[in-house]
């Protein structure tokens, strides 16, 4: 059941105004600021219809109306235009990314900061999620740290370094370790990360001399390297939320900040509806009680067929969706550029 053209326009006006002001909007405001050819009484009738249809709520009899979740859904699906990023925003984002930053562990933080600064919402950046299937071993090395402890380094073909501290026989000399890592490296090179434990197992059964060390390595690989999530998550700008009137209630604000401090809850918020470029979750669609008045906009960015990561914005349902989408798009593309093997 579709709305007629005019109802769309009015609904859009209401949403736009509410996003801007955060206070219920009345018929007179619409009539004066957005639909000057219509009187407030007409708007009033239309608004009454829109409320009937579930697009508007009224906090109380004489307070104007606010958009419902259903209205936001309609807004992002049909009403909202994809706008280009404002030049000022571009400028600001550039400034963040300007410093050279090749190092992978930094990128996420800088990107998150850029996002939260540009949008004034809270941002999340997750690098390299799921899809580890095809990560392969490029290099492996044992380095003595002190008598009895060795550091196992493993470099993947994505350029990530994984490490595990091992406790080994104190009698092993530095050269022993070196020899062992040469052999291991040769055997494991180009092996898929998830296959490493299996290959190591086979090695152990074949090769009797270095059993202890190998077991230690296997243990380290199992507990620290394969299991350890490759995904790094950075949340930035939580404090931004406190500027919005929807969180002038400290209780509410605290509950939300607590969610943002819990890694797996944030991860759950970012869960992505398949390969979509953008996912927008509104209010209850976020699936958590604590975020029932929040919206989450996420974008995944790819390189070829690999998913490189996810960027997301968390804010009140009354969110500047257009700007947020534009900023996410820009940052996503920038990240892909940065990750691109140079030249």
Partner DNA sequence: GTTAGCACTCTGTATCGTTGAGTGCTAATC
Partner DNA sequence: GATTAGCACTCAACGATACAGAGTGCTAAC
> Residue 330 contacts by C-beta under 8 Å, 6 or more apart in sequence?
85, 89, 90, 93
Question: Could you give the CA distance from residue 7 to residue 55 in angstroms, rounded to a whole number?
Answer: 11
CA distances from 154 to 60, 163, 187, 193, 194 (A): 62, 6, 13, 10, 13
Select from 12, 27, 119, 238 the one that contacts DNA (CB under 7 A). 27
The piece of 25-33, 56-64, 149-157, 299-307 that touches a copy of itself (CB under 8 A) is 149-157
* DSSP for 47-80, written as a single string: HHHHHHTTSEE-SSTTS-BEE-HHHHHHIIIII-
Select from 18, 19, 29, 123 the one that contacts DNA (CB under 7 A). 29
The piece of 57-65, 161-169, 202-210, 309-317 that touches DNA (CB under 7 A) is 57-65
Q: Quick one: 206 or 251, whose CB is closer to DNA?
A: 251
The piece of 59-67, 111-119, 185-193, 301-309 that touches DNA (CB under 7 A) is 59-67
Decide: is 67 part of the binding site for DNA (CB under 7 A).
no
Decide: is 320 part of the binding site for DNA (CB under 7 A).
no
| 183 contact, one of DNA, a copy of itself, none, CB 5-8 Å limit per kind | none
Select from 1, 2, 5, 60 the one that contacts DNA (CB under 7 A). 60
- Contact in structure between 64 and 24 (CB atoms under 8 Å): yes
Neighbours of 158 (CB within 10 A): 17
Q: Quick one: 30 or 135, whose CB is closer to a copy of itself?
A: 135
Per DSSP, what are the bridge partners of residue 164? 152
Decide: is 19 part of the binding site for DNA (CB under 7 A).
no
Q: How big is the site for DNA, counted in residues (CB under 7 A)?
A: 25
- Contact in structure between 31 and 45 (CB atoms under 8 Å): no
Q: What count of Cα atoms within 13 Å lies in the side-chain half-sphere of residue 80?
A: 22
The piece of 55-63, 101-109, 238-246, 263-271 that touches DNA (CB under 7 A) is 55-63
Decide: is 146 part of the binding site for DNA (CB under 7 A).
no
Question: Could you give the CA distance from residue 132 to residue 192 in angstroms, rounded to a whole number?
Answer: 9
Decide: is 332 part of the binding site for DNA (CB under 7 A).
no
Site residues, DNA (CB under 7 A)? 24-29, 37-42, 44-45, 47-48, 51, 58-65
């Amino acid at each position: 059941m579709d709305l007629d053209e005019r109802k769309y326009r009015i609904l859009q006006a209401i949403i736009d105004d509410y996003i801007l002001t955060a206070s219920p909007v009345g018929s007179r405001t619409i009539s004066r600021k957005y639909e000057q050819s219509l009187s407030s009484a007409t708007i009033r009738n239309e608004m009454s219809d829109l409320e009937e249809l579930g697009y508007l709520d009224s906090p109380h009899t004489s307070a104007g109306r606010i958009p419902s979740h259903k209205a936001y859904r309609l807004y992002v699906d049909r009403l909202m235009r994809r706008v280009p990023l404002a030049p000022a925003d571009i400028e600001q984002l550039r400034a963040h990314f300007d410093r050279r930053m090749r190092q992978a562990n930094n990128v996420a933080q800088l990107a998150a900061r850029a996002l939260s600064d540009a949008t004034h919402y809270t941002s999340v950046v997750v690098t390299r999620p799921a899809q580890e299937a095809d990560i392969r071993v490029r290099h492996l090395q044992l380095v003595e740290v002190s008598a009895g402890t060795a550091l196992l380094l493993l470099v993947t073909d994505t350029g990530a370094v994984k490490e595990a501290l091992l406790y080994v026989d104190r009698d092993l000399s530095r050269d022993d370790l070196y020899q062992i890592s040469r052999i291991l490296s040769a055997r494991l090179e180009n092996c898929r990360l998830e296959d490493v434990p299996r290959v190591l197992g086979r090695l152990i059964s074949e090769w009797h001399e270095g059993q202890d060390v190998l077991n230690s390595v296997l243990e380290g690989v199992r507990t620290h390297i394969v299991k350890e999530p490759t995904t790094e998550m950075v949340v930035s700008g939580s404090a931004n939320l406190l500027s919005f009137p929807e969180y002038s209630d400290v209780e509410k604000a605290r509950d939300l900040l607590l969610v943002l401090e819990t890694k797996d809850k944030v991860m759950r918020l970012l869960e992505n509806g398949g390969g979509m470029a953008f996912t927008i979750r509104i209010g209850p669609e976020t699936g958590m009680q604590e975020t029932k008045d929040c919206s989450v906009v996420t974008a995944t960015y790819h390189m070829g067929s690999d998913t490189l990561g996810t960027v997301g914005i968390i804010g009140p349902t009354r969110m500047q969706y257009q700007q947020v989408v534009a900023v996410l798009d820009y940052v996503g593309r920038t990240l892909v550029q940065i990750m691109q093997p140079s030249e």
